[in-house]
Amino acid sequence: VLWGTHKSCHAFHLAPRTLRFQSVSATGAPRWNDHDRPEKFNFASDVLDYWTQMEKEGKRGPNPALWWVNSQGDEVKWSFRELTDFTCRAANVFTQTCGLQQGDRLALILPRVPEWWLVAMGCIRTGIIFMPGTTQLKAKDILYRLKQSNAQSIVTTDALAPEVDSVASECPALKTKLLVSDHGREGWLDFRSLIQSASPDHTCIKSKTTDPMVIFFTSGTTGFPKMAKHSHGLSLRHSFPSSRKVLQLKTSDVLWCLSDPGWIMATVETMIEPWTAGSTVFIHHLPQFDPKVIVETLFKYPITQCITAPSVFRMILQENFGSLRFPTLEHCAAGGEAVLPEEQEKWRQRTGLLLHQLYGQSETGLTCSTPRGSQVKPGSMGKAIPPFDVQFIDDDEGNILPPNTEGNLGIRIKPTKPIGLFMLYENDQVKTAKVECGDFYNTGDKATIDEEGYIWFLGRDDDIINASGYRIGPAEVESALAKHPAVAESAVVSSPDPIRGQVVKAFIVLTPQFLSHDPDQLAKELQEHVKAVTAPYKYPRKVEFVPELPKTVTGKIKRSELREKEFGQMQRQ
């Protein structure tokens, strides 16, 4: 460990060695302009190894590149030199031990443990496409992901290994299972010991900017999650001056983004954006969400910037904490769902800090924000971040609408698709085509823009539920409910919630044999059932039993009618 002290090392120690670099920029990481389209780019060799070189030349301060802590007092601090060393080893484990090649797919389902960053960067070095997933996934979700992607490999922990084993026989493409654990498991390779014995000499691939790098699973309004595939352009974009302006990170900054590693927010804000700037990525293990731990952490560690979901800021404000004047915190940003002006004001009063909004999707990465230092218009999600040309378009042909008119937030893709926008939905030409509207990618998010370019979120134009920053497709929850014998049919919609913004609500028609059951007890049983068969964050926090569901003449459930009833109720309260 090069910097500071640590009580005990959670993961492993390796002596940093002298390294060979394949592609170190002479002029520094941020050498591209907003509209550059370099033919080749690889985040590992062009950015991570650049900072390693800066450290070696004494041109970067002593702060770590990754600083990981947990509530037991364990701590890991890795410099960029160590990260280059360890991620080269990870790359060798994948290619030499596991026989994986550029273009192969690896499911990465780990909690916030330091190995997550080694696996992701090891994949980038080798061109293996990594597919982050939350540890809340259940066997059924994992099976879906492995089969849809034809994944050759998976990296996960003890907690999820049995779930993987229960479905592995249905995944013929799956060649290697890697376990991050202190214990062995039959049929699994031990990632930690393989890293220890692997060579740190590795030649990073010379990836094209347009080569695939990562796939995020994102919920749709119908069916199961889609695979939004991104190229190396996703990481190149954060070297552009417009992206660098958003947080204005410096090498001395310590950025804590609390996102679960399964979401695009974590890939961008706990890896790409801070390391592009040579900043410290701070991670707390946080196996369970607890506002008290978050507040204690912000007091205890020299964190300068914090990014999380608006629900987290709300939950902190709800608790009775004495002081929220954090000694080193300078900048806060919230992303994943909308923030109300009253919440921004309350946060400012309690902390003395402005709460900036970020907006993006798994398909788009960071799309809008109010850059640090520029005027925050309360309730607005800020301005478009170039190279995205954001316009407000109509549903039909993608015609551009004038300011202050409600429209779909569109990102121009013609004549040229901008760097950083997803490539396509893997294996799904129909859905890829469906989100193209004239010259634009249609986000499906309704918003308006004012004359100064500030954007105001209004809502979705479909049935997707945004509950505390999670995008949840109703079909996923309805399909989980359908597996319970009490459910004849169900309709799942969003319902307003003062803390989480929205929550999942299920309207359920019971089968005759359950009609006489105690409704409260049955609601709890169904909630537990959903938590057991699919990722628990999707479970319906509200349940209402109804004799029938509203339907169109063709038998289609009118979710919009139910949703309007929910939001109408809120207005009447």
Site residues for ligand BCO, 33-52, by CB under 6 A, read: none
Residue 259 binds ligand BCO, judged by CB under 6 A: yes
Residue 263 binds ligand BCO, judged by CB under 6 A: yes
Alpha-carbon Rg for the chain, nearest whole angstrom, is 23
Binders of ligand BCO: how many residues, by CB under 6 A?
A: 22
Site residues for ligand BCO, 121-160, by CB under 6 A, read: 136
DSSP H stretches of helix in 42-153: 43, 49-56, 80-92, 115-126, 139-149
Residue 470 binds ligand BCO, judged by CB under 6 A: yes
CB of 109 to ligand BCO, least distance (A): 12
Return the range that interacts with ligand BCO (CB under 6 A); candidates 9-17, 77-85, 307-315, 345-353. Answer: 307-315
Residue 94 binds ligand BCO, judged by CB under 6 A: no
Residue 220 binds ligand BCO, judged by CB under 6 A: no
Contact residue for ligand BCO among 468, 494, 495, 502 (CB under 6 A)? 468
* 338 Cβ contact partners less than 8 Å away, ≥ 6 residues apart: 310, 357, 381, 457, 501
Of 80, 23, 47, 14, nearest in space to 202 by CA: 23
Our CB check for ligand BCO shows the closer of 180 and 366 to be 366
Q: What share of the chain is helix, strand, coil (3-state, %, to 5)?
A: 30, 25, 45
CB of 309 to ligand BCO, least distance (A): 4
| Separation of alpha carbons 101 and 120, rounded Å | 15
Residue 200 binds ligand BCO, judged by CB under 6 A: no
| Separation of alpha carbons 168 and 165, rounded Å | 5
Strands 355-361 and 331-335: parallel
Of 102, 132, 341, 129, nearest in space to 203 by CA: 102
Contact residue for ligand BCO among 38, 379, 536, 550 (CB under 6 A)? 536
Question: Residue holding tokens 């293990």?
Answer: 285
What are the Cα distances from residue 373, in Å, to 137, 239, 326, 355, 573? Answer: 39, 19, 19, 12, 38
Contact residue for ligand BCO among 64, 133, 261, 469 (CB under 6 A)? 469
Contact residue for ligand BCO among 120, 227, 309, 332 (CB under 6 A)? 309
Contact residue for ligand BCO among 54, 88, 215, 265 (CB under 6 A)? 265
Return the range that interacts with ligand BCO (CB under 6 A); candidates 149-157, 171-179, 465-473, 513-521. Answer: 465-473
Return the range that interacts with ligand BCO (CB under 6 A); candidates 355-363, 445-453, 475-483, 485-493. Answer: 355-363
CB of 67 to ligand BCO, least distance (A): 20
Residue 289 binds ligand BCO, judged by CB under 6 A: yes
Return the range that interacts with ligand BCO (CB under 6 A); candidates 19-27, 105-113, 143-151, 260-268. Answer: 260-268
| Separation of alpha carbons 552 and 491, rounded Å | 13
Contact residue for ligand BCO among 16, 335, 371, 420 (CB under 6 A)? 335
Our CB check for ligand BCO shows the closer of 264 and 354 to be 264
Residue 336 binds ligand BCO, judged by CB under 6 A: yes
CB 465 within 8 A of CB 494: yes
Number of Cβ within 10 Å of residue 251's Cβ equals 16
Residue 313 binds ligand BCO, judged by CB under 6 A: no
* 55 Cβ contact partners less than 8 Å away, ≥ 6 residues apart: 79, 80, 81
Return the range that interacts with ligand BCO (CB under 6 A); candidates 205-213, 262-270, 316-324, 490-498. Answer: 262-270
CB 217 within 8 A of CB 133: yes
DSSP H stretches of helix in 321-471: 341-351, 429-434
Contact residue for ligand BCO among 106, 249, 264, 472 (CB under 6 A)? 264
Contact residue for ligand BCO among 66, 119, 283, 312 (CB under 6 A)? 312
Q: Which residues pair with 256 in a beta bridge?
A: 282, 306
Q: What angle do CA 125, 127, 129 make, to 5 degrees?
A: 120
* 268 Cβ contact partners less than 8 Å away, ≥ 6 residues apart: 234, 238, 360, 365, 366
Residue 360 binds ligand BCO, judged by CB under 6 A: yes
Contact residue for ligand BCO among 47, 358, 503, 510 (CB under 6 A)? 358
| Separation of alpha carbons 7 and 507, rounded Å | 51
CB of 399 to ligand BCO, least distance (A): 27
Our CB check for ligand BCO shows the closer of 136 and 181 to be 136
Coil, strand or helix at 384: strand
Site residues for ligand BCO, 537-566, by CB under 6 A, read: 537
Of 371, 255, 376, nearest in space to 308 by CA: 255
Our CB check for ligand BCO shows the closer of 434 and 524 to be 524
Our CB check for ligand BCO shows the closer of 289 and 567 to be 289
List of residues contacting ligand BCO (CB under 6 A): 136, 259-260, 263-265, 289, 309, 311-312, 335-336, 358, 360-361, 366, 468-470, 531, 536-537
